[in-house]
Copies of this chain bind each other. A is one copy, B any other.
Amino acid sequence: MANSKFEYVRNFETQSTLLPSTYIVVRLDGRGFHRISTHYNFAKPNDIRALNLSNAAALNVCRELKDVLVAYGESDEYSFILRRETTLFNRRAEKLISTFVSLYTAHYIALWPKFMTDTPLDFKCIPTFDGRAVCYPTLAIVKDYLSWRFVDTHINNLYNTVFWTLVLKGGMTTTEAEKKLSGTFSADKNEILWKDFGINYNDEPEIFKKGSLIFKGKIRHCDVVKGIDEFFEGCT
C-alpha cells in the first residue's frame, strides 16, 4: 500500500543467495538439549519417545517442503539434504534456514503431547532448535556429509551406551565413567559392555545405533554408508 517516509529503512536489508547448482544441507540442532533432557527426564542414553517425536516432526517437514532428497536425524539434530537443482525460496539462505527451523519446531511442539505422554511442556524450558545451511558442490562430498552424520551417530551412541551403562548399572559417577572411557577404542567399549554387563552392542535397537533416515516418505534405520548410493540414485 502507501509508502511512508520511513520506508527507506528497507535498503538496509540484505539477502544471501546460496550458490546455484550445489546440494544444500539444512541442519537443525537442539538448543541446550542437555538441560532439556534433564528437565523432562529423558531416558539415558536414548529416549525412544523423543526420537520418535523428532522423526515425526521431520517427516512432516519433508511432506511440506518437497525438494528434500533425504533427511537424517540422530539425538537432537536433523539434516535435510535438498536437491542440487532446488530453487526453493530462490535459494535465499535466511528464508531456507528460518522456514526449516520454524516448521520443524512447530511440528515438534505440536506433536509433543502425542509422543511425550504424561510429560507436559513447561514454558520455562521449551525445546527449540537453531539452524544453518551449507552448500556442497559435488555428489561425492554431499554423500560424505551424510556418511559423516551416520558415523558420528555410531561413535556417539557407542560411547553414550557404555557411559550410561557404567553409571546406571555399574554404579559409577559420571566423572568415573568419563575417566574410564577416556582413550578407549571401539573394541574396548564393546568389551566393557560385554564382559562387565553381558550386553552385546549389536543387540541394541537399530534406531539408536543407526539413527533415522527419511527417504521417499519412509523412515529407515539402516547402514547409511553402505546404502549411500541408493539415496542419490540419478543424481550427478
| Chain A residues close to B by CB (< 8 Å) | 1-2, 4, 6-14, 16-17, 19-22, 28, 31, 60, 93-95, 97-99, 101-103, 105-111, 121, 123, 126-138, 141, 144-145, 147-148, 151-152, 155-156, 159, 236
Which residues on the B side are within 8 Å of A130 (C-beta)? 94-95, 98-99, 102
Q: Is the CB of A121 within 8 A of B126?
A: no
9 pairs of A and B residues whose beta carbons are closest in the complex: A6-B148, A137-B137, A98-B131, A102-B128, A109-B109, A4-B151, A98-B130, A105-B105, A98-B101
Which residues on the B side are within 8 Å of A128 (C-beta)? 99, 102-103, 106
Q: Is the CB of A159 within 8 A of B1?
A: yes
Measured between alpha carbons, how far is A13 from B29 in the docked complex, in Å?
A: 14
- Which one, B6, B7, B133, B141, contacts A21 given CB within 8 A? B141
Which residues on the B side are within 8 Å of A12 (C-beta)? 19-21, 134-136, 141
Q: Is the CB of A102 within 8 A of B105?
A: yes
Q: Is the CB of B98 within 8 A of A13?
A: no
Which residues on the B side are within 8 Å of A16 (C-beta)? 16
Q: Is the CB of A1 within 8 A of B126?
A: no
Q: Is the CB of B94 within 8 A of A133?
A: yes
Measured between alpha carbons, how far is A99 from B30 in the docked complex, in Å?
A: 10
Q: How far is the CB of A141 from chain B (nearest CB, A)?
A: 6
Q: Is the CB of B156 within 8 A of A1?
A: yes
Q: Is the CB of A19 within 8 A of B98?
A: no
Which residues on the B side are within 8 Å of A107 (C-beta)? 123, 126
- Which one, B108, B121, B131, B141, contacts A9 given CB within 8 A? B141
Q: How far is the CB of A223 from chain B (nearest CB, A)?
A: 14
Which residues on the B side are within 8 Å of A11 (C-beta)? 20
Measured between alpha carbons, how far is A94 from B6 in the docked complex, in Å?
A: 27
Which residues on the B side are within 8 Å of A21 (C-beta)? 12, 137-138, 141
Which residues on the B side are within 8 Å of A134 (C-beta)? 12-14
Which residues on the B side are within 8 Å of A93 (C-beta)? 94
Q: Is the CB of A98 within 8 A of B136?
A: no
Q: How far is the CB of A20 from chain B (nearest CB, A)?
A: 6
Measured between alpha carbons, how far is A70 from B13 in the docked complex, in Å?
A: 19
Q: Which of A12, A21, A102, A144 has the most CB of B within 10 A?
A: A102
